């Protein structure tokens, strides 16, 4: 629907899908990119903020799941939850959403060059202090949920 310019309807459909947990990571990209592309910056900021809540809360949730695994003796599941925690922590989608939210907020919240410079100075962005290993990021997007004109694999 976003192709036809129906971003509002696309957002409604996304809310009805009620994406949970890892689905935020694998399917969340379908609307977030399109909202910014179609200049719905307020909606983009809200959508990014809501999606980033999943990434922020994931670590705590995984710790709770691991504790429950110990409590109930389901020890093989512990490795699965640790893998899930690590996968989400290194999500490319999370980094893209964080960056998009910063850029959209700068675009929407500032109206003059001096305001923008001041806002950027508060961000404390220093590439030399960046400890992220960018090669370890994982791309969890589910491309099977998208229209593709590629020939089927043989």
Profile the chain (154 residues) by mean pLDDT over runs of 10 residues: 59 66 67 76 82 83 89 90 85 85 87 89 80 80 66 66
Each domain of the chain, given as residue ranges in start order, spans 2-109
* Alpha helices (H) along the chain: 7-17, 22-27, 29-37, 41-72, 76-89, 92-109, 113-123
**153 within 8 A of 147, measured Cβ to Cβ:** no
Using CA atoms, how far residue 59 sits from 56, 65, 90, 140, in Å, is 7, 10, 12, 17
At 67 the pLDDT is 92
> Minimal CA–CA distance to 140: which of 84, 75, 100?
84
At 92 the pLDDT is 85
Strand partners, 138: 91
């Amino acid at each position: 629907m976003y192709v036809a310019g129906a971003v509002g309807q696309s957002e409604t459909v996304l809310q009805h899908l009620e994406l949970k947990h890892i689905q935020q990571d694998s399917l969340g990209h379908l609307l977030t990119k399109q909202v910014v592309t179609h200049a719905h910056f307020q909606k983009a900021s809200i959508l990014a903020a809501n999606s980033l809540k999943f990434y922020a809360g994931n670590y705590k949730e995984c710790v709770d799941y691991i504790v429950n695994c110990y409590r109930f003796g389901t020890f093989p599941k512990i490795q699965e939850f640790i893998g899930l925690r690590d996968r989400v922590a290194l999500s490319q989608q999370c980094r893209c959403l964080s960056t998009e939210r910063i850029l959209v907020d700068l675009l929407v919240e500032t109206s003059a060059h001096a305001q923008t410079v001041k806002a950027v100075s508060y961000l404390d962005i220093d590439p030399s202090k960046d400890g992220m290993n960018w090669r370890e990021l994982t791309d969890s997007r589910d491309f099977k949920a998208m229209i593709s004109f590629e020939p089927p694999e043989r």
